[in-house]
Chain A
Amino acid sequence: MQTDAIDHGHEAKPTHLRFQFSDSARQFHAAKFGMWLFLGQEVMFFSALFCAYAYYRNQFPDAFWHASQHLNTKFGLWETVDLLTSSLTVALAIHFIRQGKRGLTSAMLIITILCAFIFLGMHSFEYYTEFHEGLLPGRFFHPEASIHLPPESAMFFTCYFFVTVLHSIHVIIGIIVLAIILAFNLRGKYSSAYYTHVEVGGLYWHLVDLVWIFLFPLLYLIT
């Protein structure tokens, strides 16, 4: 809400500058700071699940190892590569918009979103397989005949499903956020002088990737 009652000075104000900020730089800094704080709380959000995982793994070390063998590690590895790539492309998107190259920014955002969809696709296939093998949480844990897992392995799958579903929800949110940023960029909203959304959106996406980097070894690579 702009108003003439506020006098920030005689020079023309950029259109993106909000009334409560005296200059662009401060506004940009505030946006980034706010996103970092939000990422801090996202970390805490996942940390409770990591704690539950650590506790139960400590309780049932053998069962967790056995259960982990039944995850599709190859897929997990490709998902990791895919997300790392998407982090690279989103970083490139920020790099390009800083130089004002809107076209390349859009391209990078599109690739990032594609990578995200690939991740979701692969992961859905994993869930599909686990569903068919009966490897589900808690009372739904009915491994099919060919799979020999001790009953307490159910807890591994409980942890696995909770944390990966929560992560996938964040991937979906990330897709929505990136898509909106892409749409804005195609409409010419950003420039080398103003690209806050791209920067903070990229930060969010990096967190989504980072969570997966921790998840992958903890779930798939238990030895």
Chain B
Amino acid sequence: MIFAAAFYNDWMRRILDLPDQASSIAPEVDQLHYFVIAVTMLGAIGLTIATIYFFAKYRYRGKQMIGQEYKPGPMFEVVAVSGPLAFFLLWFFIGFHQYVEISSVPDDAMEVYVMGKKWMWKFAYPDGPNAVGVLRVPVGRPVKLLMTSRDVIHSFFVPAFRLKKDVIPGRYSELWFTATKPGSYQVFCAEYCGTGHSMMRAEVVAMPQAEFDTWMAQQRNSPIPSQQDSYQSKNEPQRGQANMVVQGERLAGEKGCLKCHSVDGSAHIGPTWLGLYHRAERLSTGETQLVDEPYITDSMMNPTAKLVAGYGPVMPTYMGKLTAPESAAIVEYIKSLRDPQLQAQPSEGPAYEPGRRP
């Protein structure tokens, strides 16, 4: 039975010219696809045959002949409506259920930041390397892509995964998948973005977990700096932007954050960044605020909106002064400044509110 189902799946997939099913959702989506296409094709062919049959049987046969008026009972309309309606609603529900699955990111997903710009895709792992054009992922593990654009709207499309999501400037969009077999899968940009739109391609390379881990270890060319070093690091010559945490650290120096925020726990003009992430801060209004990615980003863009109690409203806004990847890097840097006693928490979600960022 399983063999027959697999054979049917493969046969239908080939007839319909669908690519490989390389993600966990692809076989489900394809099953629905076959169902919809089969019924609609049958219906359409049926109507075509009926038309041809009527045409042949009821041809005009003389000078004046007119047809007989045919008034089908109300059942005709009832069937004509309820038949298609039943199928349409069924397909809607199955499709919606799958869409919710496509939109619901598992908690244990591995995050990768994706940046689309004319006309290339850049990938960055939170504490790992950057890459252009190639996204390496482990097989069998959910991967969450946090995507944004540097310029115009692009769209990240992987036909083999049956997945696509628009990539928008000024906000993060999410896409998650679990690659189910090793291989290299084409990525297309699917939203027109200019001259190089059709060249804006990439590939997803899915590797077995062990191979992926090996690759990752090889790529990290600089360790996460210790707290004591970080204060001085802005005076060191620039290393390559090997990973976001290092980048964030560098930016924190360049953009003046470290003038007011310490990274070693000492009190200063602004709250210290050591252990800041997931701290429950008390605000000047008396409310308690959990320091998560959205709050950190908000504080960079609209610092006086939710002020921590005991600090003055002196922080300038960085709206327009930090690009999306830069503020993401700073967030990652802050996240890395964890007190070793504190437990690591998974990322909460996209770090941006829509419409607040250049």
Contacts and interface: CB of A to CB of B under 8 A. Distances in A.
A152 B354 CA distance: 12
B302 interface: yes
B356 interface: yes
B355 A59 contact: yes
A62 B305 CA distance: 10
A121 interface: no
Interface string B333-358: 00000000000000000000011100
B355 A151 contact: no
B354 A151 contact: no
B321 to A, nearest CB: 11
A150 B354 contact: no
A44 to B, nearest CB: 25
Contacts of A56: 355
A64 to B, nearest CB: 13
B355 A150 contact: no
Contacts of B319: 151-152
Nearest to B305: A62
Contacts of A150: 302, 317
A102 B356 CA distance: 58
Interface residues of B, number: 8
Interface string A166-183: 000000000000000000
Nearest to A150: B302
Nearest to B320: A151
A60 B354 CA distance: 11
B305 to A, nearest CB: 8
B194 to A, nearest CB: 22
Nearest to A62: B305
Q: Which of B302, B317, B319, B320 has the most CB of A within 10 A?
A: B302
Interface string A46-70: 0000000000100110100000000
Interface in B302-317: 302, 305, 317
Interface in B134-189: none
Contacts of B302: 150, 152
A185 B284 CA distance: 67
A59 B317 contact: no
Contacts of B354: 59
Contacts of B320: 151
Q: Is the interface of B mostly helix, strand, loop or mixed?
A: loop
A151 B305 CA distance: 13
B20 to A, nearest CB: 40
B314 to A, nearest CB: 14
A60 B298 CA distance: 13
Nearest to B319: A151
A150 B316 CA distance: 11
Contacts of A62: 305
A93 to B, nearest CB: 46
Contacts of B305: 62
B294 to A, nearest CB: 14
A150 B320 CA distance: 13
A156 to B, nearest CB: 13
Contacts of A152: 302, 319, 356
A60 B302 CA distance: 12
Nearest to A59: B355
Interface string B274-312: 000000000000000000000000000010010000000
A196 B4 CA distance: 76
A187 to B, nearest CB: 55
Contacts of A59: 354-355
A120 B148 CA distance: 44
Nearest to B304: A150
A113 to B, nearest CB: 42
B97 to A, nearest CB: 29
A60 B305 CA distance: 12
A56 B356 CA distance: 11
B271 to A, nearest CB: 21
A56 B354 CA distance: 11
Interface string A117-157: 00000000000000000000000000000000011100000
Contacts of A151: 317, 319-320
A152 B318 CA distance: 12
A22 B305 CA distance: 69
B119 to A, nearest CB: 26
A198 B212 CA distance: 79
Interface in A164-220: none
Given A59-B355, A151-B317, A151-B320, 10 more contacts: A56-B355, A59-B354, A60-B355, A62-B305, A150-B302, A150-B317, A151-B319, A152-B302, A152-B319, A152-B356
13 contacts: A56-B355, A59-B354, A59-B355, A60-B355, A62-B305, A150-B302, A150-B317, A151-B317, A151-B319, A151-B320, A152-B302, A152-B319, A152-B356
A-B residue pairs, 7 tightest by C-beta: A59-B355, A151-B319, A151-B317, A150-B302, A152-B356, A151-B320, A59-B354
